[in-house]
Structure 1
């Protein structure tokens, strides 16, 4: 734990010193003017990079004649990046055409690797039941059951997803999977409901084993009871009371051990899972990949679930680093693996997209007006080819609250373009500095969760589970409970 604590200190020191790189909304680029905080001695070095050099910066590329402070920033930051290369210890499973059904290549990659890691932890912990939180349409659970022979309880907050998972499930009449609508959070009611629900599901599995679900294409009494369970828990979630589902065909017997898993758990879901893991006795293992850190709940100036550990909280307080939405959003951005592959055209397209949107924001700011979308999407990639095309599309798909006519708005946008086009090169410069910091912020968040588990007497480790060029959120927090 001392090593992680020291690492926390190094991460926070770099992030505090370079807040100007990330603490602004990208759409306010020309309002906030972050390039003005760029050290003058860095500008010539960074503005004259080739595409290959620009792409290599997040991997520690420096030149001997660069200013010392820039070289120190790059080397110090890249030293703290977590290893993201796929572990050779865990070999992904092979999917049949039936198991691939409905999955795009990215999802197939994630499911093949995640299923293999989950199976490994299940074997080491002796768990024969997996609780898949945020199970969606049930792809991962289907593979865990079919390939590895595990029983699966899929928990999904959206009933439309559990219905879709059931359709996929019942096409094979698989009695080793149950899909239940349940919204997990870290409240006492949710903990009570989780305990009761999972206990009952485990009893259903045992009952199904004894009765052997008939293979006649119809729901057996055991499956009907699962849907009754769904209704009971759903009603409980709606009225805020703990669900009493113990009377739905449950017989008293020893509970099986369970492994709690989540593939890309959004916002507050991972912290809620960690609490369930810690407090529920029959949950013996954990494997969770998080995402969307910026969607964590915020009360006042503080986030409810970051930091979680006492160590991280003390370090943030000591250096007065206060997490913001841009800070957490950067942690959830693509990693340097994709940045490395960008072409010169891709960089130009990104520059145009940021610059044109930021000029629109600047115009609205200067004219004290609002730009309201008339359509969900106001511009496509081809509309960013040149500024004239972008402006024409904006004026046809948006309305402004000011009394100025669209021609007046167009003239002012064109004037702003001429005024700020010389600042466009700074967009990729600031962006690459953010790409360098992205893995540090994500490490701070993930490491905080590991420290919280350690502080609460459990072991924990991190495992790169996907190729981050395919699936950027690729680090799993894993734990095997110490009794």
Structure 2
């Protein structure tokens, strides 16, 4: 077994970043068949036939554990040289994801664990992200002397609340959902009471805890965010009108004021400074933050952790009057690159999470991909007019797994090994799956029964009444010889996921490097297993 551990590419300058981007583009040209085809059409379009036959012949006999490691760049010595080259090159071109030693990057940064009041409602992933990012934001805010932090796409305000109460920073939380603003205000009032009681009990002379301000609006462009930023700089007037200690009554007025402000293009020149922070701001919102940083002189720094690349816009890139999510840099725009939906979906894959899966969980996921591919054959044979609409059936596979877990509970006998509640086994010595589900009495339920449930559930989701002559059993048997190749194919395809994410983020990095007097870098700030989207772009305007 081998794993690539080094990366010869760097992105300290625009020239280096562009060189890396060009290397990715050149590499992807030879593997368009992986991301231009829709994986649900695996059986219908016989997608495996365009892949090197030696690769498929080799991987269809590999243990599932080895397949799950492919997106992470791990290879086996006995694989064909061309296959090893593909996997290692993909890993080489992907930005390293191992969490950086942040204390070395940000001298003086202190990371403090959240107390139970601040972390209430957070799952382990969110708690980890907020602890790390709030420490980084606090460090940079104090370094540049920013007067206000704007939490873009704040959601329910977890980051804003920690920045306000734990780090005592002035924070404005902006989100498109008014419900999120209300939830944030209610939680803020509860936390404020907790901190106020602590201050009274300690006899501290320190003033009342800072409260984050919430505003609701749809940030549709950098000019809207720029106007919002300019307004936030008028802090004295803002405090006078909005911070009167009755946040629950003023929520709606704040929303109205935000909408009015963002529909105007007011400029200010008051010497104020802002920091924009976005924890997984979805789709184009992350790019809008970067544009606002470049266009608004009051915004002195930006910290962006992207998310939901599948929601990025690409239309209208040829029109300089329209701003899309990709590409954003001048150089990449000139390269006439189009990702497409499949590539953007791939960019959301997490190599680290797939690598950490247990064998049974990995097999189950491949099995669900098989269900979906066979169901696509059902639609093709019986409902071709529906297939033309590119139908989505939602998360039928996951819903089925939840049902099976309820139907077949694990034995509580401590003398038995704990097994997966839904166990799907692959016979790697054949081209197909030998699959079944075990119940606690030891009887076996054929996997076809699960596929049948999956199919009828999918048809109901699409509002289709199954015809009486539908032969699911015959179609199931017909597809079995090829279903076993889905695991190898999916793993090979998923190896491109980190490459596409790197391409998207390097384009954003290059956009900032193309600006004048901007210091910018990108680094992984979260644990990639806990938080797969862990790459932060951090930029600061030079003081000179």
Same fold, TM-score > 0.5, yes or no: yes
Pair 1:481–1:226, CA change in 2 (3 A): farther
Displacement of 1:97 in angstroms is 0.8
Confirm or deny that 1:312 pairs with 2:336.
no
Deviations 1:432-480, CA, capped at 9 Å, x for gaps: 1123211111000001001001112222111211111111111111001
Q: Distance in 1 between matches of 2:491 and 2:176?
A: 37
Superposed, which structure 2 residues align to 1:167-186 within 5 Å? 167-171=186-190, 172=192, 174-186=209-221
Alignment partner of 1:264 out of 270, 277, 280: 280
* Structure with the higher fraction of residues in helix conformation: 1
Displacement of 1:179 in angstroms is 0.6
TM-score in terms of structure 1 length? 0.85
Q: Distance in 2 between matches of 1:480 and 1:375?
A: 41
- Runs of at least 4 residues off by over 6 Å: 223-226, 300-303, 371-376, 400-404
Confirm or deny that 1:478 pairs with 2:478.
no
Confirm or deny that 1:116 pairs with 2:135.
yes
Worse-superposed segment, 62-71 or 5-14: 62-71
Worse-superposed segment, 125-134 or 368-377: 368-377
Q: Distance in 2 between matches of 1:466 and 1:401?
A: 39
Pair 1:355–1:201, CA change in 2 (3 A): farther
In the alignment, structure 1 segments of 5+ residues that lack a partner are 247-251
Worse-superposed segment, 107-116 or 299-308: 299-308
Pair 1:127–1:88, CA change in 2 (3 A): same
Contact 1:155 1:182 in 2 (8 A): yes
Superposed, which structure 2 residues align to 1:363-442 within 5 Å? 363-367=378-382, 368-370=384-386, 379-381=399-401, 382=403, 386-392=447-453, 394-395=455-456, 398-399=459-460, 406-409=467-470, 411=471, 413-442=472-501
SS of corresponding position for 1:289 = strand
Confirm or deny that 1:232 pairs with 2:257.
yes
In the alignment, structure 2 segments of 5+ residues that lack a partner are 1-13, 104-109, 194-208, 405-421, 423-436, 438-446
2:92 maps to which residue?
Answer: 79
Superposed, which structure 2 residues align to 1:159-174 within 5 Å? 159-171=178-190, 172=192, 174=209
1:56 maps to which residue?
Answer: 69
Confirm or deny that 1:194 pairs with 2:228.
yes
SS of corresponding position for 2:42 = helix
Pair 1:109–1:297, CA change in 2 (3 A): same
Displacement of 1:399 in angstroms is 4.3
Deviations 1:23-67, CA, capped at 9 Å, x for gaps: 222322222322111101222222222233323333433344432
1:96 maps to which residue?
Answer: 115
Displacement of 1:191 in angstroms is 4.5
2:430 maps to which residue?
Answer: none
Contact 2:182 2:251 in 1 (8 A): no
Displacement of 1:181 in angstroms is 0.8
Give RMSD over aligned pairs. Answer: 3.1
Displacement of 1:295 in angstroms is 0.7
Displacement of 1:150 in angstroms is 0.9
TM-score in terms of structure 2 length? 0.76
Contact 1:330 1:438 in 2 (8 A): yes
Pair 1:392–1:431, CA change in 2 (3 A): closer
1:353 maps to which residue?
Answer: 368
Displacement of 1:108 in angstroms is 0.6
How many residues of Structure 1 are paired with residues of Structure 2 in the alignment? 457
